[in-house]
Chain A
Amino acid sequence: MAKHGGWAGKVLRIDLSTGRISSEDTVEKYKDVLGGTGLGYKVLWEEVAPGTKPFDPANKIVFGTGPLAGTGAPCNGRTAITTLWPTCWPKPLVASGHMGGQFAAELKYAGYDGIIIEGKADRPVYVSIMDKKVEIKDARHLWGQGIRRTTVELSQQFGPEVCVAAIGQAGENLIPMSVVMNAYSHSAGGVGAVMGSKNLKAIAVHGTGSVTIAGKKEEWEKLVKLHLSLLGANNQHVVPSSPQPWAEYYSPGSRWKGSRGNKWGASEPAIDTGICDPHDLNTIAYRTNNAAFYLGDIAWKYTVRGNGCTGCPIRCHTMIKVPSVAAKYGISEVGMNTCGGLNFGRSFFRKFPDGARGMTSMEACMVGMHMSDDYGLWCNYSQLQRDFLKLYETGIIKNKLGEKEFNSYSWDKYEKSDPSFLFELLPRIALKQGELATALGLGTGYMLETWSLSEEEWKKDNRLSYWKMGHPKHHASEEVGQCGVIINTQYNRDPQCHSHCNFTRNGLPLELQKRLAAETWGTQDAIDALGSYTPMNIGKARMAKWSLIRKELHDSLSLCNWMGPWVASPLKERGYRGDDSMESMLYSVATGDPKSREELDRVGERIFLLHRALTIRDMGTKEMSTQHDTVPEWVYNDQEKRPAYTKGTTHLGRDDVKLAMGMFYEEMGWDKTTGAPRAETYRRLGLAKVAEELGKKGLLG
């Protein structure tokens, strides 16, 4: 059995100031934090001083993969990118973005588990990693180009196998609302400008190696097959969206859209997705069609196929071909993305003349993708669009802009929900042209500050979905009650955690969900029916802890938290049970480092704790419950003033939320009042030195 499979073995360190390129042993230095966000948090803790700003050369960007990236494990392929966050307001703190695509696998095949980018180049550069040959190269010919042109140029230079992660003009212009993107449509939000501040245009990577699996071939193959058998559709929805012959249950909320008669209409020949029996592992890719999920059945006609990350069978990025947009808007007739990226363009408009699921809406998606994915603009989980709508509809834009700038926009087009309006807005944001575009490009927090707008106003309006520190909620109380609230308090941007809502939205009937909840979190009361919330209990605190730990584990192993964990499955013969040990089984066999579910969860908890420590250190306070883990006002409000926990409402009670936070802190081993982790908790999780350092500053719980 090979020693330490999974990991490629080296973490690359590239100093753009000095041009020095070196590497470190992954297992020796970073095994205790696995990779991904764990790697990122450790580097920032040890090497980036408090008070550093995102665009300072002293800031670092850590591109981290994990031991499962590039293996045959389903749903691997994520790269976590950790840095000091430009849109984190009022004070920049640590955060991560994630991108899928092909980057993680290529980096592993080249022999690296991560890249630590330091310093700042004195001119635009890109990094090329061709197996062991790593170089910093002149990018002046690429600077000013969009992501697509950059990708094409570097692909022509290094060959079609190369994976290019690039920023567009938005990142170059230090627009905080910017991304890095690889493989056409896979972006990590929020980091584009940090790369831009370092004059780093792109990273081109190609590897001809492979990833070693420590365990026996048969054992690994059996495990991969088990994992495949437990998969549902995107977001681990385990029932189809409409009745199917093989299915006992179905849910209109399910992303499992494949069905006989639903065809990839723009593929040649058209492909009927068929009944997608869950036992047929060769048709997993037919289950999900996110274009149809968001844009309606009209999207089937325009669907070419599903696309996605290396080796992932889910294919959640839908490729759509809409011939009419070429002549109408002068853009490519092919677009591809998922969720926020897919909806980037249409989210700027309140409604469309032919409805939310008509052609105009689809055209707006195509126009939006065309520009955002090339300029490299970030939506901040559609907060950009919600802010724009609020600013326009309340007259703030008109008040704030000078007459000349205001009149330079075709507001009549916008009023008609004409997608061509986006050609006036999006380039200006990327190129920082005009006051409106500049404000929007800052991100919500700095936009509010620049325009002297009240954050409290944003926190009261539930249509804005704003949470705190310049960022929106991401699966909060509107669907997972107190557990969702707890999760959304914990990060320095939106949490990007799907562990909890993948479960609650899986489509199974409530009784089955409660049975699975009891098996996983010790009580069926861990979950409530949507809109029929009950007061806080220990099960919900456990579920919140589990959700956060698993999110960090996924982001450090390179598993997709948009798909896992795998508590439920589509298999009736298993009682719809998945396997909550999936992560630990994959990790153990791949690396040769056997860990039970509980043991690996402790590693995940360690990684999450490191994020907490970083936040506390850089905020300079241990009063996390009042200074950081805050909850916006809209969580407590009901438009019809009904009491909390009335059926048909999703707002919560203040005292109950306070109780929820206290129970969560206790579950985590943190001070119940301040929310600061205690010394013994750090020590228990192998972070004694962290405790020591925080102790000297009086920042322990």
Chain B
Amino acid sequence: MSDRHDISLQTKETIIDVIAESIRRKSQAGQLASENEIFQELLNRDILKGDREESQRLFKEALEETLNRYEDLEKLPDRGEGPRFYSSQFMTQSYTRILLQKETDLLLLIAEVVRENSAVYPRPVSLDLFGDSPFNLSQDQLQGYLQQMAKEEGYRDIKQTTTSAGNVFLYSSLHLEPDYASMLAEWFDVGQFNNP
């Protein structure tokens, strides 16, 4: 084999290592990786250089090989902002759903979180949840989305209940009856703390 071929192989292996490491690092940090970000990192670290078109070709090849080689590295469907990647070693599918939805449709994200909680656990969801990571919505943003939801047909099942402590919880009437949702909200907001 020629020296040039050896160097090329070496570079490709390095690129694969960096791609894998980058996706895993971002997953551990609670973030999805995008193609652009990974590509830019390779450029910044001088691992890819020279002709842009050639670099991109090499990158795409290496990316595909990386995904095939490592079981934990997953590609998420492209929702218009380019594909996203994560490592199942550090991130779960349920978390990726939140992050992906956050990028594209916050209204739907809120509704889906409420519906999932109402169906699966089951329980209503405190508004406070959406102010914390990974949602990080401000009070104004949240109120805006709730008002929007109230007007749209597709969100008629998203209801509110207020606890004795004055805190608002959301639930889906598809999965929780009003009395039941109210009782559960009261437990999670007040009752469980009175029963340490």
The CA-CA distance from A478 to B184 in the complex, in Å, is 11
B residues 4-42 with Cβ under 8 Å of A? 27-30
Contact: A529 with B92, CB < 8 Å? no
A248 to B179, CA, bound (A): 28
Residues of A within 8 A of B (CB): 242-249, 251-253, 259-261, 275, 277, 293-294, 339-340, 343, 355-356, 382, 465, 475, 478-479, 505, 509-511, 529-532, 572, 646-650
Q: Closest CB-CB distance, A129 to chain B, in whole Å?
A: 32
Q: How distant is the Cα of A572 from the Cα of B88 in the complex, in angstroms? A: 12
Task: In the A-B complex, list the 7 residue pairs whose CB atoms are closest, starting with the nearest.
Answer: A648-B179, A648-B180, A339-B196, A648-B183, A245-B30, A245-B91, A647-B180
CB < 8 Å neighbour of B165 from A243, A246, A356, A510: A356
Contacts A245-B27, A531-B183, A647-B177; A510 near B134 (Cβ below 8 A): no
- In the complex, which residues of chain B have a beta carbon less than 8 angstroms from the beta carbon of A531? 180, 183-184, 187
Asked whether, in the complex, the Cβ of B133 is within 8 Å of the Cβ of A253, the reply is no
B44 located at the interface, meaning its Cβ lies under 8 Å from any Cβ of chain A in the complex: no
What CA separation (Å) do A245 and B94 show in the bound complex? 9
Name the CB-closest residue of B to A562: B196
Main secondary structure of the interface of A (DSSP, over half): loop
Contacts of A649 in B (CB 8 A): 183
Within 8 A of A (CB), among B118-177: 120-123, 125-126, 129, 132-134, 165, 177
Across the two chains, which residue of chain B brings its CB closest to A347? B194
User: Are A248 and B92 CB-contacts (below 8 A) given A253-B188, A478-B195, A531-B187?
Assistant: yes
Asked if B77 CB lies within 8 Å of chain A CBs, one says no
Could you jot down 14 A-B contacts, CB within 8 Å?
A243-B133, A248-B92, A252-B123, A260-B133, A294-B193, A479-B195, A509-B120, A509-B121, A510-B121, A529-B122, A531-B187, A648-B177, A648-B180, A648-B183
Q: Given A648-B183, A649-B183, decide whether A252 and B92 contact each other with a Cβ distance below 8 A.
A: no
Contact A510 B95 (CB under 8 A): no
Interface size on B, residues (CB 8 A): 37
Query: Inside 8 A of B92's CB, which chain A residues have their CB?
Result: 245-248, 572
A252 near B188 with CB under 8 A, answer yes
B124's nearest neighbour on chain A, judged by CB, is A252
Residue B192 is within 8 A (CB to CB) of chain A in the complex: yes
Q: Give the complex CA separation of A294 and B192 in angstroms.
A: 10
Complex interface: chain B residues within 8 A of A242 (CB):
129, 132-133
A463, closest chain B residue (CB): B194
Q: A245-B91, A245-B95, A531-B183 are in contact. List 19 more A-B contacts (CB 8 A).
A: A242-B133, A243-B94, A244-B30, A246-B90, A246-B91, A247-B94, A247-B95, A252-B126, A252-B188, A356-B165, A356-B193, A382-B196, A479-B187, A532-B180, A572-B92, A647-B179, A647-B180, A648-B179, A650-B183
- Rounded to whole Å, the gap between the CB of B15 and the closest CB of chain A is 25
Assembly CA distance A532 to B187 (angstroms): 13
Task: Give, as a whole number of angstroms, the nearest-CB distance from B184 to chain A.
Answer: 6
CB nearest to B113 among chain A residues: A243
Within the assembled complex, what's the spacing in Å between the Cα atoms of A649 and B121? 17
- B187: min CB distance to chain A, Å: 6
User: Do B95 and A244 have beta carbons less than 8 Å apart?
Assistant: yes
- A509: chain B residues within 8 A (beta carbon): 120-121
Q: Report how far A244 CA is from B121 CA in the complex, Å.
A: 17
Determine if B47 is an interface residue (Cβ-Cβ < 8 Å).
Answer: no
Q: Whole-angstrom distance between the alpha carbons of A494 and B129 in the complex? A: 34
Interface status of B98 (Cβ within 8 A of chain A): yes
Query: How far does the Cβ of A524 sit from chain B's closest Cβ, in whole Å?
Result: 16
Query: In the complex, what residues of B have CB within 8 A of residue A251's CB?
Result: 121, 123
